[in-house]
Amino acid sequence: MLFAYILTVILSPILITASELPKEGLLVFPELFHSRAEGGINVLRLTYSITLKLQKSSVLKSQFLVRTYTDGIPMHTYMTGADLEEDLFHDPDSMASVSINTNDGVTVEGVVGPKLRVEPLLTQERDSHGRIPHRLFHIEGDLTKDDNDYSVPENKVKEIQVSDSENETMNISERSSDKIYPELFVVVDSLFARSFSSTRKIIKYVSIMVNAINLRYLSVTSPKVKHVLVGLEVTTPERETFLRRLRLDPRYIHSQGSLASFYNYTLGNPKLYKKFDIIDLLTAHDMATIKQGQINNGNAGYAYIRTACTDLKVGIGEDKPKTFLGVHVMAHEIGHVLGCLHDGERSPWENEGVPGSEECPFRQGFLMSYIRKNSNTYKFSECCVRQIREKARSRSGACLHKKNVENKSVKKYNYLPGEKVDRTAQCRNAFPTARDALYMENYGVKDCRIRCAITTGGGVSDVKTLNLCDGTPCKDGKRYVCINGICMKKKRKYDNEAVPPSIFS
């Protein structure tokens, strides 16, 4: 009886639209069902007219890099991606990307449609059935209203030199069934991070964003595109010299100036940024440009075009934390980095055979325009698809075909990195810019943390606290190990990909 009821709900249309929601949102009590009739999928009912058929999502790299700073020194923590995204789901038909927790009732957070988001109200009482109250919100209008949001590099990045081994990748990329995996590293500024109580919650939020972006890229074919979030960095105000404020009004950061400065910043720190395919800076600051002496804040993103895999692989975009308003901006700016012009524009590389977008009118309202009128808003035009295809098949796009680029020999292992990497090696891996780092044995292991004695480039010595790698023994030794910072009983086997020690070298 339950399964028949679920099917009836699934087939009913979504009757509530974003424009019909009250400004303060709609109170809802989500319910989660497991339907055998639907192939064992999870069915999430938000209201009688809004139901999602959820599929398990995967956007994080198996060993996920988290970079934070302690006294100005970058610290690397590697976390197990499969554990971090255990609660991540999507519904491609509804363009939904959500995180669901069922530990003590059902809590849902994320995007439940192109213009709807949901968040739990944990401080309010449950209903008579024990369901946790949530609020369904309208995702407000676009941050971006200005099409001046990308730069063509001076050398136009037509081709770069690649090795013979990369030429093999180019032969593979000619196949129409190919799939590319742009490895995305996201940097969040300190103002953005301030809205979250922990780094783990930032990871969760950005994971939902990237998951939602991948749904928009389902319209790209030959090759298909799936972005992989390989790491996240939380900056500090002291390091944010790349955020260039407008002299006319310091409340705004200058779009082009901040992008150029961020590029120079990443270029000057190759140990920290060189290995990623695309780097996206997520900011909570209001971006603006100057037009005819006047401030124009209609611009919410800026990127270099067709620069993935090169030193200029950077983009910057606004987001209002916890609103998912920046999903569209990030998808759009990454589109530029992958080679997409705005619809209707000529190609700067037309003499070299790189296609333009003249055949796709701006007024059709696809994702690479700023007209919002129908479902085209959440898809790429055929012109953009051709441009991504050309970039992916060019020699300068070879890195997009590589998965687990740091280590090509990743296999299924029955152990985790902490079982094979000693604590001094973990100290050295965690502080990549330090001259040396040593494990302080006298402190021992406390709450999956150790202390490292580090020596900086200037010869200064200091002591830093480090979260241990997954699999490092804790408590009584062999029976308990650290998993994402928690000391728990060791499993006999790990189904997710545990990365061998060489990835930390």
- As annotated, the active-site residues are 333
Is residue 332 marked as binding? Answer: yes
CA atoms within 13 Å, Cβ hemisphere of 260: 10
Provide the pairing of β-strand 224-225 with 179-180. Answer: parallel
Tokens of 27: 């109170």
User: Strand locations in 210-338, DSSP E?
Assistant: 224-225, 228-234, 252-254, 278-283, 286-291, 294-296, 301-304, 314-318
Residues 6+ apart with CB under 8 A from 141: none
Quote the tokens at residue 90.
Answer: 């999507």
**CA trace torsion 445, 451, 452, 454 (10° rounding):** 180
Q: How far apart are CA 98 and CA 411, in angstroms?
A: 29
Q: Could you please report the per-residue DSSP string of 99-149?
A: EEE-BTB-EEEEEEETTEEEEE-TTSPP-TT-PPPEEEEEPPSPS---S--
CA distance 182 to 172: 16
CA dist 64 → 207, 233, 404, 407 (Å): 11, 11, 11, 14
CA separation for the pair 292, 44 (Å, rounded): 51
Question: Taking the CB of residue 441, how many other CB atoms lie within 10 A of it?
Answer: 11
Q: Is 328 annotated as a binding residue?
A: no
Q: Are 450 and 443 in contact (CB under 8 A)?
A: yes
User: Which residue's entry shows tokens 């780094």?
Assistant: 199
CA distance 175 to 442: 57
Consult the annotation and say whether 34 binds a ligand. no
Q: Which residues contact 266 (CB under 8 A, 6 or more apart)?
A: 272, 273, 279, 311, 314
Measured from the Cβ of residue 359, the count of other Cβ atoms closer than 10 Å reads 12
> Residues 299, 300, 301, CA angle at the centre, nearest 5°?
100
Neighbouring residues of 405: CB distance < 8 A, sequence distance ≥ 6:
183, 275, 399
Binding-site residues for Zn(2+) sit at 332, 336, 342
Binding-site residues sit at 332, 336, 342
